[in-house]
Structure 1
Amino acid sequence: MEGLLLEKQLSSGEVNVEKIKLFTSKDLDKATDKFSIDRILGQGGQGTVYKGMLSDGRIVAVKKSKIVDGGEVGQFINEIVILSQIIHRNVVKLLGCCLETEVPLLVYEFIPNGTLSQYIHHPNEEFCLTWEMRLRIAIEVAGALSYLHSAASFPIYHRDIKSSNILLDEKYKAKVADFGTSRSVSIDQMHLTTLVHGTFGYLDPEYFQSSQFTEKSDVYSFGVVLAELLTGQKPVSLMRSQESRSLATYFLLSMENNLPFDILDSQVMKDGRKEKITAVANLAVRCLNLYGRNRPTMKEVAVDWREFNCQLELRLMFNKFSQRSDVSKLRK
């Protein structure tokens, strides 16, 4: 039934067929050792992801729905439709799917270094998430979201941006993943939903109240990720006071009270330049504005970031040149 539904969409032109390979159930059984528990990479609300090896030696990730119901299967089909339209280096690549099983199976490129959430909230001695890495990952995610909102064939709203949906590849570059609840919409259209989707702690409060999801809702979630990268704290924590259990609220209160450096992650304080940290913190505040109309677009975020980096690099070059000139004068 679900396979027929997907086949119908494949033939309707909604899915870019040239990019989607159809795998057999035999292929994926063999690739995952019959979906062995030893091959499980992760589990979430939509399904379980297994590590697999194809007959040509490629390592892949295979996503299988947990629950056989229309909603879950619909999300899988939606993910195929969305990802078949996307070509971006910072978005996880869908390689294909299988229609022969009870629910469709999705096959992705394998991203080896886990999720951003793991590195922020469970740091280890072997690998350190430096300030420069945090900044680069944030810039890459901003670029991916800007592309989804402004440069894809139709604007695409992710609807579940969070640090656990940002994967890191072999070079620790960001790959935005999990498009099951995403939507492709007409330009200037707001997506009205009867059921609010997303993750508590990242949810746009405006969307929560109105059920109207816009591109600015993704901007809010991105702001929470920025706050995570800056502070190293979880989006929701019972360890904080009741009014500050939400990281967004805690972060905004700290900024309002001019205490941002009191809550920063120790690695950020150790590595980062105050000027750049302050700029990123101010950007997070703009993204976390309670009113969507006052938030920047992701395109504006990406452009502002490029301009800021260029200005900062020029300033640093000028300072180095000035210091060299001062040294030359002293020598004379």
Structure 2
Amino acid sequence: MDYLNHLITVVDPPFVRQSCPQPYQNTTLDFSLYSYGDRDVNVTVFVNCTALSPPIPGMHDMGCAPGGRHGYYQLTGDNHIEMFGNCSSMVVVPIHQTAANDIGSGKLNFSDAVKGGFSLRWEAGKGWCRDCVESGGRCGFDVLSPENHTCFCPHNSTLGTCPPTNEEPVGHPKNAKIKGIIIGVSAATGAFLLLCTCYLFYKHKKKRRFPPSSKSLSQSSSLKPSLMDPEMGSALLQTQVFSYAELEEATNKFDASNKLGDGGFCTVYKGKLQDGRTVAVKRLYENNYRRLEQFMNEIQILSRLRHQRLVILYGCTSHHSRELLLVYEFVSNGTLAHHLHGSPASQDILTWPTRLRIAIETADALAYLHAVNPPVIHRDVKTNNILLDSNFHVKVADFGLSRLIPKDVTHISTAPQGTPGYLDPEYHQLFQLTDKSDVYSFGVVLFELISSKPAVDMTRNRSEINLANMAITRIQKGELEQLVDTALGYQSDEVTRKTITMVAEVAFRCLQSDADMRPPIKEVLEVLQAIESDGYRPEKEHGDAESRDDAELLKNTEPFSPDSIMNRWTSRSTTPQSSE
């Protein structure tokens, strides 16, 4: 980053990983945000070519093209018509001027020059954050508020612009008068505060013998005003309020050995309350406006919901507390993401029937959220937010980004928020959040369960970095078996193969780019339950049935097919979306 000149150096990630980067497409920019810098030159690259004979002046061999083919580049702007018959495509690649000079002098090869990237000039101060700059602030960005920029002002940070200052210049007569008043008032105030401090110290020593326990706002009418949090409205009416000291003690002063994990904006610790309950304490990193907004949002959402597949919120600290802390039930088996992509993945603990049950229970939780009044859109459905207990039952967590949607509207207009790889593309394009946004994210989760691959993986080929894109391509090409985790028995077990195929069909429908083409989550749940029921129906006859081999069991199983399940799908139409 070159803040002085508003320049950022960027490079295509696959180029860094490849020993011989092959640029196969041109760079495209959003020119409302970026423009090309003046420190770069364009190099014309011809890829996948036959050998040039005789050589063309000014055309240089890249020296590392694979498969017996050749790649050529030229530093001049001239295009040679004879190259188009010998090469599959031509690409223009910007590189630093210094790198271009080093190529010409033989100090640098083409691969290293491309890996050095190029410069973009960002347009901050010329458009979307001009107001901040003109108000005396410096423009920044907060990932929690992508729809707004953060304005860093002399005394604090804010959204929008810095507040106006009405201070008079130093030495102004008005300031001299004010200074005299301040000195007089300060002397009197100091004496008063000294008396107050002595009194409060005496009261504190007296009360230390009887430390206050946490109280429930719904049960106590004698709470201190500071705990009522009037700004929070009714958000805390069913929520227990803990003191910071109580939770500090429960987590052994937030000891690192009690850390359960780190989120995007918080750390979670295991703790034990004085009443014996084992809990998970979420500690937000900073007490700023955006953290407080998510803190209050999670309380408002979870305090009014009760479902066996949702994590239980036990309580929180007051927002006037030293830190913002949320207290949940402790879910012992970690996240689904950890089991799919972490160290337990190599142990093959999650069999396919277990994964299908996890999918059903997650859909059950989402169906409940979408059915309550007013409906709740989770907005961050992902495997990191699906917790598992000791029996691998689901607890959906993290409602910091969730939104309530009134019954009489089809969507709410809001800037896209969520996790890359799970974000609904229509929501991203139209800024319209609907219940179908959760359905899309759930479709990604289904493909994670099928493939054991993460939703985003920068080490995969460019076209397959996003799991949703990879899965859609595989299915459209009839290559589902290349997507399925080989440990699940897709090739060796007929029932597993058929049920995975049907679940993949459900996931494919969830990932339709047009939200109206996606089924409601209630119907997704019903189809998944039917797949489980038909695919793993127990034998009616016992006795010697247990001694039959697998082939005999499969022969006596009632036949089913993807069509038999999908015919139950009665997707209802969705009314056109309109603004709130």
TM-score normalised by L of structure 1: 0.88
Q: Deviations over 1:140-175 (max 9, x none)?
A: 00000000001x231000001110111111211111
Aligned to 1:113: 333
Secondary structure, counterpart of 1:111 in structure 2: coil
Contact residue 307 and residue 365 of structure 2 kept, 8 A: yes
Aligned to 1:129: 350
Question: Are residue 86 (structure 1) and residue 309 (structure 2) matched?
Answer: no
Contact residue 458 and residue 465 of structure 2 kept, 8 A: yes
Secondary structure, counterpart of 1:273 in structure 2: helix
Aligned to 2:369: 148
Aligned to 1:327: none
Question: Are residue 8 (structure 1) and residue 227 (structure 2) matched?
Answer: no
Moved more, 254-263 or 37-46: 37-46
For 2:253 and 2:261, the matched residues in 1 are separated by: 16
Give 1:129 shift.
1.0
* Change in 2 beyond 3 A, CA 1:263/1:30: same
For 2:555 and 2:348, the matched residues in 1 are separated by: 36
Q: How many residues in Structure 1 have an aligned counterpart in Structure 2?
A: 317
Aligned to 1:233: 453
Q: 1:163 aligns with which of 380, 383, 388?
A: 383
* Change in 2 beyond 3 A, CA 1:217/1:313: same
Question: Are residue 58 (structure 1) and residue 277 (structure 2) matched?
Answer: yes
* Change in 2 beyond 3 A, CA 1:61/1:252: same
For 2:391 and 2:538, the matched residues in 1 are separated by: 29
Q: Deviations over 1:192-236 (max 9, x none)?
A: 11x321011111111111111110001000000001110111111
Secondary structure, counterpart of 1:186 in structure 2: coil
For 2:348 and 2:298, the matched residues in 1 are separated by: 32
Once the two structures are aligned, what percentage of the paired residues are identical?
A: 40
Question: Are residue 174 (structure 1) and residue 394 (structure 2) matched?
Answer: yes
Give 1:35 shift.
1.6
Contact residue 236 and residue 247 of structure 1 kept, 8 A: yes
Give 1:269 shift.
2.6
Secondary structure, counterpart of 2:380 in structure 1: coil
Aligned to 2:496: 273
TM-score normalised by L of structure 2: 0.52
Aligned residue identity for 2:251:
T
Q: Deviations over 1:246-300 (max 9, x none)?
A: 1000000000011101221022235662211111000010000011000011111
Secondary structure, counterpart of 1:82 in structure 2: helix
* Change in 2 beyond 3 A, CA 1:172/1:6: farther
Give 1:314 shift.
5.8
Q: Deviations over 1:53-94 (max 9, x none)?
A: 101221101111102210011101100000011111111100
Aligned residue identity for 2:379:
R
Give 1:44 shift.
1.4
Compare the two structures and name the one with the higher helix fraction. Answer: 1
* Change in 2 beyond 3 A, CA 1:9/1:156: farther
Moved more, 293-302 or 31-40: 31-40
Structure 1 unaligned blocks of 5 or more? 325-332
For 1:6 and 1:278, the matched residues in 2 are separated by: 53
Q: 1:23 aligns with which of 242, 250, 266?
A: 242
For 1:279 and 1:213, the matched residues in 2 are separated by: 28
Contact residue 131 and residue 267 of structure 1 kept, 8 A: no
Contact residue 73 and residue 103 of structure 1 kept, 8 A: no
Secondary structure, counterpart of 1:119 in structure 2: helix
Q: 2:266 aligns with which of 47, 63, 70?
A: 47
For 1:321 and 1:238, the matched residues in 2 are separated by: 41
Give 1:50 shift.
1.0
Question: Are residue 190 (structure 1) and residue 407 (structure 2) matched?
Answer: no
For 1:26 and 1:92, the matched residues in 2 are separated by: 24
* Change in 2 beyond 3 A, CA 1:120/1:242: same
For 1:309 and 1:317, the matched residues in 2 are separated by: 16
For the aligned residue pairs, the C-alpha RMSD in angstroms reads 2.4
Give 1:305 shift.
2.1
Aligned residue identity for 1:27:
E
Secondary structure, counterpart of 2:489 in structure 1: helix
Aligned residue identity for 1:30:
E
Contact residue 348 and residue 487 of structure 2 kept, 8 A: no
Question: Are residue 256 (structure 1) and residue 476 (structure 2) matched?
Answer: yes
For 2:292 and 2:343, the matched residues in 1 are separated by: 35
Contact residue 356 and residue 532 of structure 2 kept, 8 A: no
For 1:217 and 1:46, the matched residues in 2 are separated by: 22
Aligned residue identity for 2:266:
G
Give 1:306 shift.
2.5
* Change in 2 beyond 3 A, CA 1:68/1:9: closer
For 1:74 and 1:261, the matched residues in 2 are separated by: 44
Contact residue 35 and residue 50 of structure 1 kept, 8 A: yes
Give 1:191 shift.
2.0
For 2:455 and 2:554, the matched residues in 1 are separated by: 42
* Change in 2 beyond 3 A, CA 1:257/1:5: farther
Contact residue 352 and residue 496 of structure 2 kept, 8 A: no
